Structure 1
């Protein structure tokens, strides 16, 4: 396997820049630059020099032996002064050493996966942690990176192997007396896994929303104050406001954070009958986005319209409460804080039901596992003559779980995942 290297910290000037070297020749390459290396899992300050002896920088050098590093390979990290010139000089020197090459995006993490240091769900958690913008996203990503989903899947897999082994024992000794009926234990194991799987599936939407962001659509009639309210919530002029009805033609999005949760506010076109083709397209799009949103805030002036169907937890509030009226006014700020609290309360409650599965592929793998388990349960419940087919269904369920954590049949998926990583990660 090649020895790879790359800048593992951010590009540009910084106080410290970290260059990582990983692979079978990592120690030899670092010795050429440093003269000598500290003991494994120790650190020391060394002068970094070229092969010809030219002084490049003074760096803190860390050494990680094979099997005890992030990648699972021999790794050396050079903590350099964060000068662009220093980093360029060190990378150039590494490029001239035989047997080394620049790492591809995400290649360090891919090697960690291939060497069993991370499972695929942990890799995705690491990607989410790098992209995390809010506290809720950070906490959720760390749960994934810590291997929580992998542990749950491992528990499911162990139970499925036990259930499959019980059925196989009956099949293998079909011509002999089996001391006990394994059906009840197999059904109990399947029921436990099915129940746990369903909990994770029920919590998928909330977990996925924490990762990608909740959508809150502001809806109502034209000129009711939707854009003004959006600007007040966003704290800036994100939408054009005017006294002319139908000013907003397209959906305007503003991303913000509410109590650690990522939220995208949607300012939609005013809902009304119109002969204007462009406005009607905007209204159609507004209806589609509002229907798909996680929460809708209905603004109304005199009385709440009866022709707009709201869902559970949706919020309706009187607009333009400029004086003593109860409601909200984006113009004066009256009621805005209270509205934010209501929105935050609803979304926080939903986020508490978040499961460990955060991506669509997780959901699909668990649904397919559940489908195989349901079929196996039906077969086992019928009679022992169906045990061979039931055992195969359990093996199918195991394969779906193994795909979830990256043990089998994920090569195309790996290429897609690691393409999103930065160089040096």
Structure 2
């Protein structure tokens, strides 16, 4: 028979953990400042396709009054149409019976819908007047209101249709502008990243359940020997896996937000000409006057399917002009923040001797790059511009003898004036950007959000707390596992006390 003292300890510990969880329920992670709508009875509607004139527009409805709206606006007197079957109907104003348009209606009964609720879609013509009339007619149906931003997806999350990482993947897919961004977002939306975190979460729950059970019932010899040793091994394995996951060099985040590529170098080296050549438009002013560019000029590019934010900066030199000095300061600040720096050099200024030219370029790189950056580590490309002004013999000699020289970044000889060497440069640039972003379809799923990284770092620190207090204070060690589980739950959006209790009663025959 289980001693009363053990029962009281177990009930007290469970009650305290349940109260902690209820004070900060994980499902509130996706709510707005106005509070959650977990039991919101309103039916919402909105235009789900893009704004502006188009051939077809889709108006989506979700909530308990969806069936009523469908019947009244589509004139259905003999019940609802078969689920997920398109039906051609006249769309009417429920107040005046005026025909607003003729289009397709689709019925999605819950829970087999995107939001998990009863849903309807009206596929109508995409003229602004038609869309406005249909939305106004829906607003006249009792119990219906316009949807807030992201509310359909929020309801899908609250109904368990999507995990929080899948929701973020859906948002990234909607905003994807390049092929690589689309692939990464689609992979995350498919749930691969969420499944990785859910697996870690389940293993953490087991660890926490076993530690809590050991604390409460080990004195009564109801827990088998070796339970804590198993927890120790699981915690070590989880910490190592998370640390490897964090060491991804921000590839997923770069791909999601764009690789920061900065053009830097001395004045009149051809930086603005290179920017204009790459974006194929006169984005920056080009002038023979030194110091023309004084602020940062930015443009977004798609380099072989990878997103790049390209920045032209002021020429790096000492100046008595206050405005130019501020431009130089901003240029150096951008170089510090850059994922990749294109160091542009006027090739006519290079010594004709290859060894002297290499020494000149090393010194120039030290003056441009941050002191901790190593040019050969992939964060820099040397662009030797104005190669059309060099004798052919000197150009070939520089090209052959400077490649692979120690202490130098990969280099390309180009001419922005004649486009000579530009194709080879773009090939090198694409390969470098691809390395910085990685292949979104291969290997383990990568971190795509800064908040994922922050919560995982907290999770690793909490597991370190378990190991620190394992032999001195098991209650504090258990708190470390609980904090790790909470941090991971903030990424996935789901963690609860009942799941811990389920594992306790599943793995241990307490009370039998």
For 1:349, the equivalent position in structure 2 comes to: 435
Which TM-score applies when normalising by structure 1? Answer: 0.91
Matched, 1:318 2:384: yes
1:362 matched residue in structure 2? 452
Q: TM-score, normalised by structure 2?
A: 0.76
1:405 to 492, 497, 500: 492
Q: Bigger CA drift: 285-294 or 176-185?
A: 176-185
- 2:56 and 2:111 mapped to 1: Cα distance? 26
Residues 214, 97 of structure 1: alpha-carbon distance in 2 compared, 3 angstrom cutoff: same
Superposed displacement of residue 268, structure 1: 1.2
Provide the C-alpha distance between the structure 2 equivalents of 1:60 and 1:369, rounded to a whole number of angstroms: 49
1:179 Cα deviation from its structure 2 partner: 3.1
Q: Which of 182, 185, 189 is the matching residue for 1:141?
A: 185
Determine which structure has greater relative contact order: mean sequence separation of CA pairs < 8 Å that are 6+ residues apart, divided by chain length: 1
**Within the alignment, does 1:32 sit opposite 2:118 as a pair?**
no
Q: Is 1:308–2:353 an aligned residue pair?
A: no
Distance 2:486 2:53 in 1: 47
Contact 1:204 1:363 in 2 (8 A): no
The one of 290, 298, 305 aligned to 1:260: 305
Deviation at 1:22, TM superposition (A): 0.8
Find the counterpart in structure 2 of residue 386 from structure 1.
Answer: 473
124-133 or 33-42, which deviates more: 33-42
CA separation in 2, counterparts of 1:30 and 1:370? 51
Q: Which residue matches 2:353? A: none
Q: Which residue of 1 aligns with 2:240?
A: 195
1:118 deviation in Å? 1.4
Provide the C-alpha distance between the structure 1 equivalents of 2:231 and 2:474, rounded to a whole number of angstroms: 10
Partner secondary structure for residue 217 of structure 1 = strand
Pick closer, same or farther for the CA change 1:204–1:154 going to 2, 3 Å: farther
Q: Does 1:372 align with 2:372?
A: no
Structure 1 distance, partners of 2:414, 2:64, is 65
**Aligned counterpart, 1:50:** 93
Partners of 2:439 and 2:244 in 1: CA distance: 9
Partner of 1:75: 119
Change in Cα spacing, 1:350 to 1:403, as seen in structure 2 (3 Å) is: same
Output the CA distance in 2 between the equivalents of 1:353 and 1:389. Answer: 41
Question: Which residue of 1 is the match for residue 61 of structure 2?
Answer: 21
CA contact (8 A) 1:62 1:76 kept: yes
Unaligned runs of 5+ in 1: 410-425
| Partner secondary structure for residue 219 of structure 2 | coil
Q: Secondary structure at the match of 1:143?
A: helix
- Partners of 1:361 and 1:378 in 2: CA distance: 26
The CA deviation at 1:330 is 1.0
Does the Cα contact within 8 Å between 1:39 and 1:63 map onto a contact in 2? yes
In structure 1, how many angstroms separate the alpha carbons of the residues matched to 2:121 and 2:194?
29
For 1:365 and 1:297, how far apart are their aligned partners in 2?
34
Q: Any conservation in 1 of the 2:251–2:446 contact (CA below 8 Å)?
A: no
Residues 179 and 89 (structure 1), Cα distance of their counterparts in 2 relative to 1, 3 Å cut: closer
Tell me the secondary structure at the aligned position of residue 272 of structure 1: coil
Equivalence for 1:418: none
Shift of 1:26: 0.5
Mapped to 2, the partners of 1:273 and 1:89 lie a distance apart of 63
Contact 1:203–1:353 (CA under 8 A) maintained in structure 2:
no
Give distance in 2, aligned partners of 1:99 and 1:317: 64
Task: Find the counterpart in structure 2 of residue 396 from structure 1.
Answer: 483
Which of these residues, 172, 191, 213, is aligned with residue 258 of structure 2? 213
Across the two proteins, how many residue pairs are aligned to each other?
Answer: 406
Q: Give the structure 2 partner of residue 3 of structure 1.
A: 43
1:126 is matched with which residue? Answer: 170
- Aligned with 1:246: secondary structure? coil
Please give the per-residue CA displacement for 1:324-363, whole angstroms capped at 9, x wherever unaligned.
3241111111111211111111121222277532111111
Q: Distance in 2 between matches of 1:142 and 1:160?
A: 27
| Change in 2 beyond 3 A, CA 1:46/1:353 | closer
Between Structure 1 and Structure 2, whose CA radius of gyration is higher? 2
Match of 1:246 among 291, 294, 306: 291
**8 Å CA contact retained: 2:198, 2:492:** no
Q: Is the contact between residue 204 and residue 357 of structure 1 (CA under 8 Å) also seen in structure 2?
A: no
SS at match of 2:387: coil
Alpha-carbon distance between aligned partners in 1 of 2:210 and 2:363, rounded to the nearest angstrom:
59
Counterparts of 2:329 and 2:133 in 1: how far apart (Å)? 57
Q: Which ranges in structure 2 are unaligned for 5 or more consecutive residues?
A: 1-40, 351-356, 400-412, 497-512
